[in-house]
Amino acid sequence: MNTTVSSFLMKHNFVNHIDVLALAQGILDDMRRGLKKEPSDQDMIRTFCNPPKDTAKNQSVIVIDAGGTNFRSCLVTFDAAGVPAISEMEKTKMPGVERELSRKDFFEQIAQNLEHLKNKADRIGFCFSYPMEIQTDGDGILLGFSKEVKAPEVIGSKVGECLKAALAQHGWNTIKRVTMCNDTTSALLAGAATAGDIHRYSSYIGYILGTGMNAAYLQPDCDCCGIKKQIIVCESGKYKNINRSDFDIEFDKTTVKPGSFYMEKQCSGAYLGPVSTIIIQTAAKEGLFSAKMNEALLKIEPLTLIEMDKFLHGPFNKDCALGKLACEIATEEDLDMLYQLLDAVVERSARCSAAILTACAIQTGQGKNAAHPVCILCNGTTFYKTWMVNNRVHAYLDEILTNKLGIYWEIVSAENDITLGTAISGLIE
């Protein structure tokens, strides 16, 4: 790395080359405290469900996927051979993103979003990608919102129960069951469904790195925790025992919930762009670039992840603000420093992701036989599309999990993974 860039990042306490194994061990310790109901950053939510042994057949389920900025809903039907078909898909805005909503208005908006599916099934699989305390009946009590959703009255509510009441007001027939699950649970279940007859995975992990970030894994029986084998949702984004730079601290003050979700704010797509803006504008204030470049960077609009990622994929892409500057006024030294600063942000995200997956893989207690690896289903545009994140996570897992710890793993993807996994959850008794 350029010595000027290194000095600048060090001055502001930004560590991009995090020790993946050391961070994983800290996350793992916190996970184990949470499992024992001791104070911990991560919630370690028990789901009381496992991947089903048999595929659903001749059944339909309404599927809702609410998380990030979008609200998706559809009908999933499993035929006589257990092959799923998705129909009636609609996408709209997630309630509470554009403005603050009361509890009544929040569920009323959801009911309106589901009008096209009225009475087409009597079970709902609801992927609600926010911290919940899952109940034994499949419902979930909301613990809090992330991703800048503004509906504080919903916190503490039984989401499925409130949804049933709102649908009844809209004239729906009786809904037998609303099964709440996190998107990581859906990802894990979808991963299990991909195994087919040619794979025999020893355990499963679901990981989301998109607008937000979270992980779930299959916890084996644990007497010391009083827990039976089941999927555990970690709420990894809440982990706090990580280094925070001056830029992270400054950005955190501008968020809806300052002082929380430290890990998520260093990893996920909603935050990488804004943090990068602070970094490069601070560098400009300190005169790291040429005079013209310093002046231009101080005037740019706040970056989104898409904008910064366009530059990393193609520094001279005139379709993005930084690419225009690269073509018009930046010196070679400017380009080198700007590229390295933005690359440091995604490097840190990849290392944090690898640390979370390492901790989850260790906690499964599986993956000791190369023919029976731990299946990791990863979902999210930040993971798959952001510059070098996917490649780097693979490299760090290979180095740490396989070479150092002797744990074998395989990252998989599946078309419509969250929809499929949520449908499976909605049919679990």
For residue 39, which amino acid is it? P
The pLDDT value recorded for residue 166 is 94
Task: Give the residue among 241, 168, 180 at the shortest CA–CA distance from 18.
Answer: 241
How many separate helices (H) and strands (E) can be counted in the chain?
15, 13
How many Cα atoms sit within 13 Å of 25 on the Cβ side?
Answer: 6
Write out pLDDT tens, residues 371-388. 999 999 999 899 999 999
The pLDDT value recorded for residue 147 is 56
Residue 205: enclosing H or E segment and its boundaries? strand 203-209
Q: What percent of the chain has pLDDT over 90?
A: 69
Examine the pLDDT at 282 and tell me if it is beyond 60: yes
Give the residue, 148 or 167, on which the prediction is more confident: 167
174 contacts 402 by C-beta, under 8 angstroms: no
Examine the pLDDT at 206 and tell me if it is beyond 90: yes
- Whole-angstrom Cα distance, residue 359 to residue 44? 13
Confidence category of residue 137, pLDDT binned at 50, 70, 90? confident
The pLDDT value recorded for residue 240 is 95
Looking at residues 240-268, what average pLDDT do you find? Answer: 92
Could you tell me which residues are beta bridge partners of residue 77? 60, 85
3-state class (DSSP) for residue 246: helix
The pLDDT value recorded for residue 144 is 82
Write out pLDDT tens, residues 74-129. 999 998 888 889 999 999 888 877 788 899 999 999 999 999 999 999 999 999 87
3-state class (DSSP) for residue 317: coil
> Phi and psi at residue 281, in whole multiples of 5°?
-75, -35
Examine the pLDDT at 310 and tell me if it is beyond 90: yes
Confidence category of residue 214, pLDDT binned at 50, 70, 90? very high
Among the ranges 166-170, 219-223, 413-417, which has the highest mean pLDDT value?
Answer: 166-170
Give the C-alpha distances (Å, rounded to integers) separating 349 from 16, 222, 264, 393, 396.
8, 31, 9, 9, 12
Give the C-alpha distances (Å, rounded to integers) separating 427 from 2, 74, 294, 416.
54, 15, 57, 17
Which tokens is 90 given?
A: 């609609």
Neighbours of 377 (CB within 10 A): 28
Looking at residues 125-139, what average pLDDT do you find? Answer: 87
Looking at residues 263-287, what average pLDDT do you find? Answer: 94
Question: Considering the entire predicted model, what is its pTM?
Answer: 0.88
CB burial of 132-157 (b: ≥16 within 10 Å; e: otherwise) equals: bebbeebbbbbebbbbbbebbebeeb
Confidence category of residue 28, pLDDT binned at 50, 70, 90? very high
The pLDDT value recorded for residue 68 is 66
- Whole-angstrom Cα distance, residue 419 to residue 237? 22
The pLDDT value recorded for residue 146 is 64
3-state class (DSSP) for residue 70: strand
